[in-house]
Amino acid sequence: MAEFKEQASQKLFERNFITEEQLIQIKSYRSLGIFSLNAELKMFLYLSVLLFTSGIGILIYQNIDTIGHVVILSLLFIVTIICFYFCFKNSKGFQKTATTFESPVLEYLVLLANILTCIFIGYLQFQYQPFGIHYGLATLVPTIVSFICAYYFDNKSVLTIAITGLAAYIGFSVTPQDIFHNDFYSNQELSYSAIILGGLLILWTIYSSRVSLKTHFNLTYLTFALHMISIASISNMVNEYEGLWVLFSAVFTGFCFYFYKASYQQKAISLYVFMIIYAYIGINIFLFRVFESIDFQDIWVLFVLAIPGYFIGSIVLFIKLIKNFNKNITS
């Protein structure tokens, strides 16, 4: 790794991107052997937030009969208010561009305050039902709070919670455990809602780019939109309704082209890779549906022999596409 870095620095010098003095300074700095613990510390901060909120949930579950609902809700409310107090006190206020706290600890304090808010509202609705039978409001209210916190404090983790809550509000689960178990077959409207929500997220990124509003959030929005639209479209491409798979194939093709262009604009390899994977699945489903009406009785041997070549060619093409993408975004 050290040799690779030295070669990279030398190439930058040879191409006149850095001066000889800067090259000497770079080599001198690397010779000190200093390394950063920033990523490791942030990971531990994130784990501490998760463990703390999980501990609160376990504490509530194990002592629900002895502590009492009012006491638990009061403690949750007090801790949440304290967290928000320190967040607002140390924040720079709302800005359209990217902002950061002076201390990274405060970023995770925002995440903690937001999670506690979700727990408080959910527990309050479960026990006392202030929203009545309108359980969707118990999801929508913390979602709105999360969006406000995400934009005010410029926190991508909170934005992820907000988008997840918005998807849950329409009945679409985006957790890794449930993402392929959404019931699109018995509830056709759910797939339409997922595609519409994904389209709205795309429109919001376009609007945000035009007004320069937190444009660094666009990749998060596009990632969620890609997964929701792709899963909903692919699920309906295998649907047995006559002609419906053709419509969703056309919709999926259009969105794939958009995400192809967006991945280059965002210079996001993750968006590009997922787009290719979903597109490959969609193409294979489309070919299978087309081949359903073809009689392979006479050429089935040729078809079987062609399958290994097809998959090998797919792998080679995938590698080539990734290489071209990296070459284009770095050039």
> What range does the domain containing 183 cover?
174-294
Are residue 232 and residue 288 in the same domain, yes or no? Answer: yes
Residue whose token pair is 């090998």: 312
Q: Is residue 281 part of a domain?
A: yes
Domain count along the chain? 2
Residue 214 region by backbone torsions, left for phi larger than 0, else alpha for psi between -120 and 50, else beta: left
Cβ atoms of 204 and 143 within 8 Å: the answer is: no
Q: Count Cβ neighbours within 10 Å for each residue of 14-33 and write b for 16 or more, e otherwise.
A: eeeebeeeeeeebeeeeeee
Are residue 140 and residue 181 in the same domain, yes or no? Answer: no
Q: What are the Cα distances from residue 230, in Å, to 5, 90, 172, 263, 274? A: 39, 40, 13, 15, 10
Cβ atoms of 154 and 135 within 8 Å: the answer is: no
In the predicted model, residues of the chain with pLDDT beneath 70 are 1-7, 17, 29-42, 63-66, 172-187, 240-243, 293-301, 303, 331
Are residue 155 and residue 226 in the same domain, yes or no? Answer: no
Exposed/middle/buried for residue 328 (C-beta within 10 Å: 0-12, 13-18, 19+): exposed
- Among the candidates 169, 199, 219, a domain finishes at 169
Torsion over CA: 158, 160, 165, 170 (sign)? positive
Q: What is the pLDDT of residue 4?
A: 59
Cβ atoms of 144 and 87 within 8 Å: the answer is: no
pLDDT per residue as tens digits for the range 226-272 = 999 998 888 888 876 656 788 888 899 999 999 999 999 998 999 99
Q: Is residue 215 part of a domain?
A: yes
Are residue 143 and residue 184 in the same domain, yes or no? Answer: no
Q: What is the pLDDT of residue 177?
A: 45
Are residue 252 and residue 281 in the same domain, yes or no? Answer: yes
Q: Is residue 5 part of a domain?
A: no
Are residue 58 and residue 152 in the same domain, yes or no? Answer: yes
pLDDT per residue as tens digits for the range 26-69 = 777 666 666 565 666 667 777 777 787 777 777 777 766 667 77
Cβ atoms of 206 and 226 within 8 Å: the answer is: no
- Among the candidates 169, 193, 214, a domain finishes at 169
Q: Is residue 82 part of a domain?
A: yes
User: At a CB cut-off of 8 Å and minimum separation 6, what does 260 contact?
Assistant: 272, 275
Two tokens, residue 55: 């501990």
Are residue 113 and residue 189 in the same domain, yes or no? Answer: no
Q: What is the pLDDT of residue 175?
A: 46
- Among the candidates 169, 196, 212, a domain finishes at 169
DSSP 33-102: T----HHHHHHHHHHHHHHHHHHHHHHHHHTHHHH-HHHHHHHHHHHHHHHHHHHHHH-----SS----S
Are residue 235 and residue 159 in the same domain, yes or no? Answer: no
Q: Is residue 312 part of a domain?
A: no
Q: Is residue 146 part of a domain?
A: yes
pTM equals 0.81
Are residue 111 and residue 186 in the same domain, yes or no? Answer: no
Cβ atoms of 237 and 285 within 8 Å: the answer is: yes
Are residue 241 and residue 270 in the same domain, yes or no? Answer: yes
Q: Is residue 11 part of a domain?
A: no
Are residue 183 and residue 233 in the same domain, yes or no? Answer: yes
Q: Is residue 158 part of a domain?
A: yes
Are residue 65 and residue 95 in the same domain, yes or no? Answer: yes
* Axis crossing angle, helix 188-211 with helix 244-266, rounded to the nearest 10: 30
